[in-house]
Amino acid sequence: MDAPLWTETHAPALSELPQADARERLTRVVDEPMNVVIQGPAGVGKTAAARALARETHADPANDLVEINVADFFDRTKKEIREDPRFESFLTGRSRMAKRDMINRVLKESASYAPVSGEFKTILLDNAEAIREDFQQALRRVMERFHRNTQFVLTTRGASKLIPPIRSRCFAVPMRAPTMAETVAVLRRIVEAEEVPYDDAALGIVAAHRRGDLRHAVLAAQTVAAQEGELVTETVHEPLREVGHDDVLLGVLRDAREGEVRSARSSVSDLIDDEGYDGSELLRELLRVARTHGDDLGLGDGTALARLYRLAGEVDYELADGLDDALHVTHLLTAWGAGAAERGTEANA
């Protein structure tokens, strides 16, 4: 899809957020600036809400909103961090600095400079649940030191993974998955702005395609509109079948069966970081694809599928308390693939 993404070109204003409770809480933050934790499932609009808050709060949001995805730090090498245009001015001449010190310096420098407009700026930390506890302690100290001129907004799928000193310094804004009616209303606003012919039944089909995931619903609607030139009941089903990630998920499972752990890990990370899956959702999708495409994977009599389900039950518990969804899902795939390799060795003995 070469056109600008609708999630960007039709980013909601604060007043357009579909979840009334979140909208009301964030409106309060405009009047009483404070640190914020926006928590909720993947795809419900947490980052969009944080950006809407910044646009409402700052006269110059382009300069007074600093966005840092936690993956920008923890999934990258020191060289990649140093060469990031956003960070290189802070790290020039510091090639021997440890990664921990690099992260601390970027946070401190980002928080220390004066806002361009108004009395404070905003630092958005996306996917904050992935910050290790020792780095969270450093973040807490930065938040305390620069509280007069810097507002921190953290988005997370699991606020319980943040240390209590950070949670206690932040105003909590829970975001639930939008209802079908709320999702349809968002889609209607966008397709009318794009002047795409539509009918309400088709919007309902798109909303149900990824129930509760607003971001994917908007992108699915854009895919259908790009292919068909309209969003109507007669033509919506076929493009939607191409929107999902079944081919990628099938590839992840096939890589695991063949012992290609590095490739599986890379695909898992992309699905979590780029496509918005959380660990539990990705686990459910992997099980669904394994169940429906068992023949393609050579799962035979169902023993391998049963083993995958058993391992998934163990990992699902770990996902509730762990800090790295990609790591836990990859461990599951590694264990499953190892079991397949062992049985293959036994069969050839």
pLDDT digits (tens, 9 = 90+) for 7-40: 999 999 999 999 999 999 999 999 888 999 999 9
Residue 101's pLDDT is 85
On average, the pLDDT of the chain sits at 86
| Together in a domain, 29 and 159 | yes
Q: State yes or no: pLDDT of 6 exceeds 80.
A: yes
Residue 345's pLDDT is 43
Q: State yes or no: pLDDT of 221 exceeds 50.
A: yes
Q: Which domain holds residue 163?
A: 19-174
Phi then psi dihedrals of residue 68, to 5 deg = -135, 115
CATH number for the domain spanning 42: value is 3.40.50.300
pLDDT digits (tens, 9 = 90+) for 306-342: 888 888 888 876 776 655 788 888 888 888 888 665 5
The pTM assigned to this predicted structure is 0.71
pLDDT band at 261 (very low <50, low <70, confident <90, very high): confident
pLDDT digits (tens, 9 = 90+) for 282-313: 888 888 888 877 777 777 667 888 888 888 88
Residue 341's pLDDT is 53
| Together in a domain, 160 and 216 | no
| Together in a domain, 47 and 85 | yes
CATH number for the domain spanning 259: value is 1.20.272
The H or E element spanning position 185 is helix 180-194
Mean pLDDT of 188-207: 96
- The conformational region for residue 242 under phi > 0 = left, psi -120 to 50 = alpha, else beta, is alpha
| Together in a domain, 23 and 166 | yes
36-39/121-126 β-pairing? unpaired
Alpha helices in 12-163 (DSSP H): 20-31, 46-57, 61-64, 71-74, 78-83, 88-91, 99-112, 133-145
| Together in a domain, 30 and 129 | yes
| Together in a domain, 202 and 146 | no
- The conformational region for residue 32 under phi > 0 = left, psi -120 to 50 = alpha, else beta, is beta
Out of 150, 174, 198, a domain closes at 174
Mean pLDDT of 88-94: 81
Q: State yes or no: pLDDT of 159 exceeds 50.
A: yes
Mean pLDDT of 141-150: 92
pLDDT band at 144 (very low <50, low <70, confident <90, very high): very high
